[in-house]
Amino acid sequence: MTPELSPAKSVIRMDRDTRFRATDNPFEEMMSRFDSAAQLLGLDPGLYQVLRHAEKKLTVSVPIIRDDGHIEVFTGHRVIYNSARGPGKGGIRFRPDVTLDEVTALAAWMTWKCAVVNIPFGGAKGGVVCNPSELSVGELERITRRYTSGIMTLLGPDSDVPAPDVNTNETVMAWIMDTYSMHARHTVTSVVTGKPVVMGGSYGRREATGRGCMLTSQAALALLGIPVSTARVAIQGFGNVGSVAADLMSKNGMSVIAVSDHTGALYNDRGLDIPDVLDWTKKNKYLEAEAIPGADLLGLECEVLVPAALENVITSKNAESIRAKVICEGANGPTTAGADTILASNGVFIIPDILANAGGVTVSYFEWVQDRGGYFWDEATVNNRLALIMNRAFDEVAHMAAKHQVTMRTASYMLAIDRVAEIHRLRGLYA
Ligand code: NAD
């Protein structure tokens, strides 16, 4: 098989993130949490209007020549939701059911996420309506390059900085960086993050989201007065986020008693040997174990539960059975609004996704800083700076929650909206 004809599946990993897909209007679904936080903050009605609208939405045609010689036209979107705090930041996804509404919702979500951890980025998102599993590598590259040239007016280190998302990865980021650089007539590494380390990527990026989960879980345990040495952890999902969280949590003194992936779950009430489990998955890819049924993991008695696989796994149907003291949302949107209410009344402390999994975007910010400075940090520096940002953000959200007597989720939205609104107030309205 020539490289040109090898399936795109060989360079990208299919993802299962279906956040917002089940809803009729993904943007309104996203903004319902914004609305309640804005109300609690007493947000000025004019600013409320500003923050409820995306700044820029661009839809482009992406015509390419398929391998058999015929022309096919795909559709791509890029939305910059808000750039008051800095350049747009957010991933690009390739999926057959990408819609402008979904991209807008995710761009808004990135705005609040960057603001919670207080990094100088606004929110953006992009996507191309295509099915990478039906494309060759060559076709995928042509789509990427044509889409990049279509949204070129938005892109730039000072205006909009994409990253990998569903079905895109560092190879796709390298193509985007190269296309942009060809137009700029010089190499511009800082136009995307999530690049290979050899071409301006950052050490620590791969582990950053799992590390952020470990750090925020530690902070939650400290706040609740639970010693780390007595903390039992159950982790759903053993991919990038879950396996790194398991590794770091066990290295930092917690006892990881259960892990699962889509093939099954492992359980040992005295703690699993995580290096052993990691060795196994390195060789065999999946856990392929069934010490307990995977679904039972969520109901285990433990101090910290980390859903790090899919969205909507903790619902009003199973929330009563949750016996964890802390839920650290490694995945995006694992808890439904109905479950939130039940968990809050049962006293479960939730570290919301917008905070718990913001380690990834924080190290993306570090990558952008290093590219712009042309000076690269060692891994220890990246990790220390990540810890400073995650711990500070956790404390600020916890402070907001205590001050307004609200959940950590509501507090994280309030903090984020307040930060974006403050910049709008200071900058005023142009013209
Ligand atoms: P991944 O594809 O590397 O891993 C997903 C894991 O979930 C796999 O181990 C898979 O087997 C498992 N899984 C799938 N279905 C399951 C089921 N029914 N029960 C138990 N396990 C199941 O993905 P990832 O990068 O680790 O991302 C996980 C989640 O975290 C997603 O919601 C993603 O959007 C979110 N997230 C990831 C990052 C990041 O930097 N990777 C950043 C922010 C948020």
Per-residue pLDDT reduced to its tens digit, 82-129: 999 999 999 999 999 999 999 999 999 999 999 999 999 999 999 999
Q: Cβ(262) to ligand 1 under 6 A?
A: yes
pLDDT score, position 9: 60
Residue of higher predicted confidence among 6 and 333: 333
CA distance 404 to 41: 9
CA distance 136 to 106: 27
162's tokens: 């994409």
pLDDT score, position 288: 87
Distance from Cα 182 to the centre of ligand 1, integer Å? 34
Measure CA 84 to chain center. Answer: 21
Cβ atoms 109, 123 nearer than 8 A = yes
33's tokens: 């949490």
Confidence check: pLDDT of 48 > 90: yes
pLDDT score, position 11: 58
CA distance 250 to 231: 10
Confidence check: pLDDT of 272 > 60: yes
Distance from Cα 309 to the centre of ligand 1, integer Å? 4
Q: What are phi and psi of 377, to 5 degrees?
A: -95, 155
Establish whether 251 is a catalytic residue. no
Q: Cβ(17) to ligand 1 under 6 A?
A: yes
Name the CA radius of gyration of the chain, rounded. Answer: 21
- Backbone CA torsion sign across 100, 56, 122, 377: positive
Q: Where are the alpha helices (DSSP H) in 117-169?
A: 137-150
Cβ atoms 200, 371 nearer than 8 A = yes
Q: Enumerate the β-bridge partners of residue 92.
A: 126, 164
Atom number, ligand 1, closest to the C-alpha of residue 353 = 44
Q: What's the burial of 230, exposed, middle or buried (CB within 10 Å: 0-12/13-18/19+)?
A: exposed
Q: Which of 89, 125, 195, 325 is an active site residue?
A: 125
Cβ atoms 94, 143 nearer than 8 A = yes
Average pLDDT over residues 152-172: 96
- Closest residue CA from atom 1 of ligand 1: 239
- Closest residue CA from atom 24 of ligand 1: 240
- pLDDT tens column, 337-376: 889 999 999 999 999 999 999 999 999 999 999 999 999 9
Distance from Cα 189 to the centre of ligand 1, integer Å? 27
Atom number, ligand 1, closest to the C-alpha of residue 242 = 26
Atom number, ligand 1, closest to the C-alpha of residue 263 = 11
Confidence check: pLDDT of 131 > 60: yes
295's tokens: 């679904």
The percentage of residues in the chain with a pLDDT greater than 90, rounded to a whole number, is 87
pLDDT score, position 5: 37
Confidence check: pLDDT of 312 > 90: no
Indicate the pLDDT class of residue 28, thresholds 50, 70 and 90: confident
- pLDDT tens column, 171-208: 999 999 999 999 999 999 999 999 999 999 999 999 99
Name the residue among 260, 203, 256, 207 with its Cα closest to residue 232.
256
pLDDT score, position 348: 98
Q: Cβ(104) to ligand 1 under 6 A?
A: no
pTM to 2 decimal places: 0.93
Residue 208: partners with Cβ closer than 8 Å, 6 or more residues away: 359, 360, 362, 363, 382, 386
Identity (one letter) of the amino acid at 306? Answer: V
Residue 177: partners with Cβ closer than 8 Å, 6 or more residues away: 188, 189, 191, 192, 195, 199, 200
The percentage of residues in the chain with a pLDDT greater than 70, rounded to a whole number, is 94
Q: Cβ(367) to ligand 1 under 6 A?
A: no
Indicate the pLDDT class of residue 148, thresholds 50, 70 and 90: very high
- pLDDT tens column, 362-414: 999 999 999 999 999 999 999 999 999 999 999 999 999 999 999 999 999 99
Which helix or strand (DSSP H or E) is residue 72 part of?
strand 71-82
Distance from Cα 313 to the centre of ligand 1, integer Å? 12
Indicate the pLDDT class of residue 313, thresholds 50, 70 and 90: very high
Name the residue among 383, 360, 371 with its Cα closest to residue 117.
360
Q: Cβ(237) to ligand 1 under 6 A?
A: yes
Cβ atoms 313, 330 nearer than 8 A = no
Average pLDDT over residues 25-31: 74
The helices-and-strands tally (H runs, E runs) of the chain is 13, 11
